[in-house]
Amino acid sequence: MKTRKIPLRKCVACQEMKPKKQLIRVVKTPEDVIMIDLTGKKSGRGAYLCGTEACFKLAHKNRSLDRALKSPVGAEIYEQLARDFVAAQDEFIASQSVSEDDE
């Protein structure tokens, strides 16, 4: 049986290549709304971050989300993303453990 190709993406903060399912996607929608996309299917320009708070803080410090999304990300948006990221991180870790049990 042929092995499945696993899509890789690069974390914008730490620059590590990882499987797409191990990263959290931050998307800028066509309506210029920046949000976390756990499904990975929302339309718009996306940037990937590792599922750790350290990578999120590094992306904030280096302004790498600004470059990846090709638009300035304001301080209030970073604060909102930080709150969402903590909630999404828990959900993301839970979904990772479920997918590992399936394999």
What does pTM read for this prediction? 0.79
Residue 28 has pLDDT above 70, yes or no: yes
pLDDT of the residue at 18: 93
Joined tokens for residue 72: 């300035």
